[in-house]
Amino acid sequence: MRRSFKFLLRPTSRQAAALTACLEDHRVLYNAALEHRRTAYRRAGVTVGYGDQSGELKHIRTEDPDGQARWSFSSQQATLRRLDKAFRAFFDRVKAGRTPGFPRFKGRGWFDTVEWPKDGDGCRWDSQPHHLSATFVRLQGVGQVRVHRHRRVLGSVKTISVKREGSRWFVVLSCDEVPARPLPATGAVVGVDMGVAWLVTTSDGRHVANPRHLAATADRLAAAQQDLARRKRGSRRRRKAVARIAALYAKVRRQRLDGAHKAALALIRDYDVIVHEDLQIANMTRSASGTVDAPGTNVAQKSGLNRSILDAGWGVFLTVLAHKAESAGREVIAVNPANTSRACARCGHCVKENRVTQAEFRCTACGHEAHADVNAAINILRAGLALRQAAEAA
C-alpha cells in the first residue's frame, strides 16, 4: 500500500527563512512557466509542454546562480510537472463539458508546497534515527531540519514534500510498500447513515455525535474577521489579522480530522463490512442562489444547510474510513442513497410522508416506528449486502 506520513518541522529562524525563500522561488518558477505557455500560444500558436520547459531549466539556473540554482533541480522539475498536471486537468474538463477553470498565476500565500520526487535527490530522510526526538530531514539549500516525528515511518520513502500551514512547517513523506495491519474478524456488518444532527448513525442504533467545530468557533472567527476589516491593506496589523484567521481555520481542520479518525477507527474495530451512502457532496452543497434571470428560492436556508454539511466533514470521514479499512482488511461498500430515508425498513413502503420529522420515522402503510436515521441505516445495509451478494454471484 501507499501511505503518507505528515510530521511537524522544527526549523531554526535561519532555516525558516530559507524555506520561505525556497517556496517563493518555486512560486516564481511556476508563474514564469505559466506565462511562457500563455505567451507562446497567444503569439505563435505554439503549445509548450513539460519537456520543453524542463529542458530550459539548466539555462535558468545558470543565469540565476544566487536564486533558482540554490534549490534542487528535481524539485523544480516537480513544480513544472505540477503546472503540466494543471493544464492536463484543464483540457480534460474542456472535453468533458465542465467549467474549464484555466490555470491561474499563484499569488503570495497561494503556493505552499514544494516536492522532492525522490529520497536522496536534493533531499534525505533520516530513515534510522536512534530516538524519535532526534529525527532530521536534509534539504538542499536549507540544511538539516529537525522533525517532530510522533510515530514510526513504515515502508520505503519515495517522495518528500515540505508544506507551509500558517506559521508552521510540515514534512510529508509518501511511502510505498507500507504493510497492512489486518484486524481479527468480528463477523459483524453495519450500515451507516451520514447526517447533520448526528455525524454517523449505525443500523444497530449507535450514534456518533457531530461536534460542529466550525460552529463552535464562529464567534471567534467573526470577531477576527471584523478586526481584519478594520485594518489597512498592506499593513503589518492586517497581516497579523489574516494569520489569526488562518490559525483558527487550521485548528478547526485539525479537530475535524481528529474526530474523523476516531469515529472511523471505532467502526473499523467493530465491523467486518461497512456500508455507507455514495454521497455526491459537491452537488449537495451547491449554492441555491441561481442567476439574475432565474433567482433561487430558500437561499438562506440552503446556505445554512450547506455550511452544516461541510462542517460535519462527511468527505473527510469517508476518506479516512476507506484508508483505515484497506489497512485493516475490512470491506467498505458504497450504495446509491436514493430513497434510503423514505423507505420503510420493515415493509419497504416508500413515500416522503413516512419521514414525519428529522428524527422520527413512521410508516404510513404498516405503522412501523423508528428513529429516522436508524431506519435509513438499515436500508443502506440491506442495499450493500445485496450488491455484495450480486458481485459474489457474478
- Render pLDDT for 305-326 as a digit per residue (tens, 0 to 9): 888 999 999 999 999 999 999 9
Buried/exposed code over 244-280 (b: 16+ C-beta within 10 A; e: otherwise): bbeebeeebeebbeebbbebbeebbebbbbbbbbeee
DSSP-assigned states of every residue in 367-383: --EEEHHHHHHHHHHHH
Contact 25, 18 (CB under 8 A): no
At 191 the three-state DSSP class reads strand
Contact 65, 15 (CB under 8 A): no
pLDDT of residue 283: 86
pLDDT of residue 386: 94
Q: How many of the other CB atoms lie within 10 Å of CB of 188?
A: 11
State the average pLDDT over residues 71-95.
96
Contact 311, 281 (CB under 8 A): no
For 192-227, the pLDDT digits (tens) are 999 999 999 999 999 999 999 999 999 999 999 999
Contact 78, 9 (CB under 8 A): no
* Third-level CATH fold of 189-393: Nucleotidyltransferase; domain 5 (3.30.420)
pLDDT of residue 109: 84
For 105-159, the pLDDT digits (tens) are 999 889 999 999 999 999 999 866 556 567 899 999 999 999 999 888 999 999 9
Contact 346, 284 (CB under 8 A): no
For 284-309, the pLDDT digits (tens) are 888 777 766 667 777 788 888 888 99
**What are the residue ranges spanned by the domains of the chain?**
3-176, 189-393
Predicted confidence band at 35 (pLDDT cuts at 50, 70, 90)? very high
Mean per-residue pLDDT of the chain: 92
- Which amino acid makes up residue 248? L
Checking if the pLDDT of 83 tops 80, the result is yes
Bridge partners of 165, per DSSP, are 168
What size, in residues, is the chain? 394
Three cell numbers, residue 85:
498536471
Q: Report phi then psi at 364, rounded to 5.
A: -80, -10
For 350-365, the pLDDT digits (tens) are 999 999 888 899 999 9
Half-sphere CA count of 71, side-chain side, radius 13 A: 26
Contact 245, 221 (CB under 8 A): yes
State the average pLDDT over residues 364-389.
94
State the average pLDDT over residues 69-74.
95
pLDDT of residue 301: 83
Q: Which residue has the higher pLDDT, 335 or 290?
A: 335
pLDDT of residue 131: 61
Burial (CB count <10 Å: 0-12, 13-18, 19+), residue 179: exposed
Q: In angstroms, what CA-CA distances link 157 with 19, 94, 125, 131, 323? A: 21, 36, 8, 18, 18
